[in-house]
């Protein structure tokens, strides 16, 4: 109920429509209401600050009136009975000057207390804003990590980074809302004090505030459009920055550094230009409000003087108090309107984040399931087909094959035949569109994916290495491996000798994506990273396709040493690397066309034979 009330209040102050916007505001509201104590503190401090502010103005009004006519105070005190008469007798001895000084001193004390309460209200709002910001940043990062592989690959990496940053930005809604609440409370307080002095003056003040608000509304549409432009440009800039800055070799080989720099700068400048125009529009507002306020105040003061005639000496103090109140009221009206403009600029950010963090239309990685105890017998593909929802046909069609534990199985075929997709299905990155994968007779869908993947080691064609030490790259994402575990894995991957020749050995930093190492060295480190986990199943996805002969020979030697103890899937482009495989599956257009051992397939006159002869001729 509190969340609904909060959203309704925001909607009343800043009206807007759209499901993305509503989802974004719901996310902010839920995150905010997890800190109800801070929310209550902010409201309480703001109310107390407003009470002290109203007391200050009221006391100053009484002081001004008492200086002109002390009877005003005495007649007011008579309403309080015996207490009033006691105070009256005390004030007779004080005199008009003493009463004036006393009331002014009291007003100063009230103002100091008001300032203190305002500070604590802002302090609580700052704490709330940063807590919500931290919470939203954590939620957005965790959500991305919880996405399924198919979901996360829909988003460019640069866009995801920009969206996480944008998530923190919308927490500033809390600061805006706190300023709005405080401004509204203060405005109501000022109007109440003014109404106590004169209904006519209160109506005049309301008129001025309404005129200011109506005038500012015309700028909100322009600011909203600029906000959309700026947010979209920021996200696009993040995308381009990651894509281009992550490809330093490509840019230089193709002489595209100036092209990339221009694209990034153009996108960034678009965001900056929108921000500059928005700031210029906002800059017009404050001087306009000040000019309107001073003009209105001058008109009221002069008109009041001439209308009052002989009684001006009594009316003028009220008009002066009116000016004081108006002078305090206008900044609050300015804050309210500035907050509306700030919020309008945030609307598109809220919409984008609402769409981004909405879970109903996202695909998340499967969690739960039975713990996989380890491979005992075999892996079976049963009538497995796979297609992407937006694709017109199957990528894989009706696959049926068995792999016995300890076998080395090779997948071969032309590019796009479905080899890597089979590996992704086995890893649980995708699920079969039809059919199922069985591990010792258990459907992979019923098993805990993390538990299953814990028994798999994977080496891809591109060895993705972090800009960390060799030791940290091999023990990636865990600290459970000892130095001896790491050395043993490197020996098995035949990487130990080149590592020991490096100046810092296992503490050598490999550079971004391993650029300080050769391609063969990178792949052997990637193999060691897979082997240190003592996998029961090892998947090599084109891991040797781009290697020199020596590196390829060393990796082949590792596979021979693992034969019969580890179930190995080899996706191969070079057919010579799979000569000793226990089973070769030949794929074409997502179907298994042939299967068998190397010698039989090479002499069959079929597809494998043609591929083999083609590679032999090229060699």
In contact, 282 and 341? CB cutoff 8 Å:
yes
Residues 132 and 254 in one domain: yes
Mean pLDDT of 352-369: 86
Cα distances from 353 to residues 26, 164, 171, 286, 602, in angstroms, run 11, 9, 11, 31, 56
Residues 450 and 462 in one domain: no
Residue 409: beta bridge partners? 569, 583
In contact, 28 and 133? CB cutoff 8 Å:
no
Burial of 26 (0-12, 13-18, 19+ CB in 10 A): middle
pLDDT on residue 505: 92
Q: Which of these three, 502, 534, 566, is where a domain ends?
A: 534
Asked whether the predicted pLDDT for residue 127 surpasses 50, the reply is yes
CA nearest neighbour of 394 among 364, 438, 432: 432
Residues 426 and 318 in one domain: no
Residue 539: beta bridge partners? 458, 569
Least confident residue range of 168-177, 395-404, 558-567, 569-578: 168-177
In a domain, 372, yes or no: no
pLDDT on residue 84: 45
Residues 530 and 582 in one domain: no
List, in sequence order, the alpha helices (H) in 370-503. Answer: 419-427, 449-453, 470-474, 483-492, 496-500
Share of the chain above pLDDT 90, in %: 17
| Per-residue pLDDT reduced to its tens digit, 260-319 | 888 888 888 888 888 787 777 666 665 666 566 556 656 655 655 555 544 555 556 666
Provide the mean pLDDT of the chain.
Answer: 79
Asked whether the predicted pLDDT for residue 537 surpasses 70, the reply is yes
Q: How far apart are CA 230 and CA 345, in angstroms?
A: 9
Q: In the numeric block, which tokens belong to residue 140?
A: 């957005």
Residues 549 and 417 in one domain: yes
Asked whether the predicted pLDDT for residue 539 surpasses 50, the reply is yes
Q: How far apart are CA 424 and CA 149, in angstroms?
A: 10
In a domain, 415, yes or no: yes
Strands 378-386 and 396-404: antiparallel
Residues 436 and 295 in one domain: no
In a domain, 483, yes or no: yes
SS3 for 595? Answer: strand
| Per-residue pLDDT reduced to its tens digit, 184-238 | 888 888 778 777 766 766 776 677 667 666 666 666 667 767 777 877 887 888 7
Q: Which of these three, 519, 534, 549, is where a domain ends?
A: 534
| Per-residue pLDDT reduced to its tens digit, 232-269 | 887 888 778 777 777 766 676 667 788 788 888 888 88
Higher pLDDT, 68 or 107: 107
**Cβ partners under 8 Å of residue 396, min gap 6:** 384, 385, 386, 387, 418, 421, 422, 425, 590, 591
| Domain limits for position 506 | 458-534
Assign residue 226 the CATH number of its domain: 1.20.1560.10
**Cβ partners under 8 Å of residue 509, min gap 6:** 467, 468, 469, 516
Q: In the numeric block, which tokens belong to residue 386?
A: 């796979």
Residues 301 and 448 in one domain: no
Confidence band (pLDDT; 50, 70, 90) for 80? Answer: very low
Tracing tokens 């100036």 back to the chain, one arrives at 258
Q: How far apart are CA 122 and CA 46, in angstroms?
A: 9
Residues 226 and 345 in one domain: yes
Residues 426 and 482 in one domain: no
Q: How far apart are CA 257 and CA 185, in angstroms?
A: 56
Residue 363: count other Cβ atoms within 10 Å of its Cβ: 13
Q: How far apart are CA 173 and CA 326, in angstroms?
A: 28
Q: In the numeric block, which tokens belong to residue 182?
A: 């405080």
**What's the number of domains the chain is made of?**
3
Q: How far apart are CA 3 and CA 15, in angstroms?
A: 17
Residues 273 and 312 in one domain: yes
Residue 147: beta bridge partners? 364
Q: How far apart are the first and last CA of the chain?
A: 74
In a domain, 368, yes or no: no
Q: How far apart are CA 581 and CA 559, in angstroms?
A: 10
pLDDT on residue 296: 60
Tracing tokens 């063969």 back to the chain, one arrives at 520
Q: Which of these three, 295, 323, 357, is where a domain ends?
A: 357
Label residues 236-247 b or e (16+ Cβ within 10 Å = b). Answer: bbbbbbbbbeee
Residue 413: count other Cβ atoms within 10 Å of its Cβ: 24
The phi and psi torsions of 563 (rounded to 5 degrees) equal: -55, 135
In contact, 551 and 527? CB cutoff 8 Å:
no
Assign residue 549 the CATH number of its domain: 3.40.50.300
In a domain, 413, yes or no: yes
Residues 441 and 472 in one domain: no
pTM across the whole model: 0.72
In a domain, 364, yes or no: no
pLDDT on residue 83: 43
Residue 438: beta bridge partners? 380, 443
List, in sequence order, the alpha helices (H) in 309-371. Answer: 312-357
Residues 246 and 197 in one domain: yes
Asked whether the predicted pLDDT for residue 617 surpasses 60, the reply is no
In a domain, 365, yes or no: no
Cα distances from 586 to residues 315, 434, 552, 591, 618, in angstroms, run 101, 21, 22, 8, 20
In a domain, 419, yes or no: yes
């Amino acid at each position: 109920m509190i969340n609904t009330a909060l959203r309704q209040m925001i909607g009343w102050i800043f009206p807007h429509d759209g499901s993305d916007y509503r989802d974004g505001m719901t996310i902010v509201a839920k995150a905010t209401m997890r800190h109800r104590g801070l929310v209550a503190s902010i409201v309480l401090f703001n109310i107390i600050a407003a009470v002290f502010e109203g007391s200050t103005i009221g006391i100053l009004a009484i002081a001004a009136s008492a200086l002109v006519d002390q009877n005003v105070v005495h007649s007011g005190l008579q309403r309080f009975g015996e207490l009033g008469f006691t105070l009256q007798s005390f004030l007779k001895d004080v005199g008009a000057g003493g009463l004036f000084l006393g009331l002014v001193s009291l007003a100063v004390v009230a103002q100091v207390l008001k300032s203190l309460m305002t500070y604590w209200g802002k302090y609580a709002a700052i704490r709330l804003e940063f807590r919500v910001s931290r919470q939203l940043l954590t939620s957005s990062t965790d959500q991305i990590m919880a996405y399924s592989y198919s979901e996360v690959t829909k988003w460019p990496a640069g866009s995801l980074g920009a969206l996480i940053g944008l998530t923190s930005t919308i927490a500033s809604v809390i600061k805006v809302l706190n300023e709005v609440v405080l401004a509204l409370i203060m405005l109501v307080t000022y109007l109440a004090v003014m109404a106590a002095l004169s209904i006519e003056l209160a109506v005049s003040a309301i008129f001025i505030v309404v005129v200011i608000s109506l005038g500012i509304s015309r700028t909100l549409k322009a600011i909203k459009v600029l906000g959309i432009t700026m947010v979209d440009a920021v996200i696009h800039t993040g995308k381009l920055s990651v894509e281009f800055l992550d490809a330093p070799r490509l840019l230089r080989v193709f002489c595209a550094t100036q092209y990339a720099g221009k694209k990034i700068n153009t996108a960034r400048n678009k965001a900056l230009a929108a921000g500059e125009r928005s700031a210029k529009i906002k800059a017009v507002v404050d001087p306009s409000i000040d000019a309107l306020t001073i003009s209105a105040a001058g008109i009221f003061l002069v008109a009041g003087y001439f209308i009052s005639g002989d009684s001006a000496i009594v009316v003028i103090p009220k008009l002066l108090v009116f000016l004081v109140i108006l002078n305090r009221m206008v900044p609050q009206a300015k804050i309210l309107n500035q907050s509306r403009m700030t919020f309008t600029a945030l609307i598109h950010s809220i919409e984008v984040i609402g769409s981004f963090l909405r879970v109903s239309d996202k695909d998340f990685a499967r969690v739960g399931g039975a713990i996989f105890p380890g491979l005992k017998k075999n892996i079976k593909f049963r009538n497995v087909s796979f297609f992407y929802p937006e694709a017109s046909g199957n990528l894989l069609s009706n696959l049926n094959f068995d792999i016995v534990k300890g076998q080395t199985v090779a997948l071969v075929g032309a590019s796009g035949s479905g080899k890597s997709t089979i590996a992704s299905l086995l890893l649980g990155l995708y699920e079969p569109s039809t059919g199922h994968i069985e591990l010792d007779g258990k459907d992979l869908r019923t098993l805990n994916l993390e538990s299953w993947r814990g028994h798999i080691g994977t080496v891809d064609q591109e060895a993705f290495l972090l800009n960390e030490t060799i030791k940290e790259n091999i023990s990636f994402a865990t600290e459970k491996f000892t130095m001896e575990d790491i050395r043993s894995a490197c020996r098995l991957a035949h990487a130990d000798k080149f590592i020991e020749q490096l100046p810092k050995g296992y503490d050598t930093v490999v550079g971004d994506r391993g650029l300080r190492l050769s391609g063969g060295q990178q792949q052997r480190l990637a193999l060691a990273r897979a082997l240190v986990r003592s996998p029961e199943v090892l998947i090599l996805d084109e891991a040797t396709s781009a290697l020199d002969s020596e590196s390829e020979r060393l990796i082949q030697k590792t596979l021979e040493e693992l034969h019969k103890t580890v179930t190995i899937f080899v996706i191969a482009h070079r057919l010579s690397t799979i000569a000793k495989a226990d089973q070769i599956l030949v794929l074409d257009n997502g179907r298994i066309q042939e299967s068998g051992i190397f010698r039989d397939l090479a002499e069959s006159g079929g597809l494998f034979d043609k591929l083999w002869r083609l590679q032999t001729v090229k060699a």
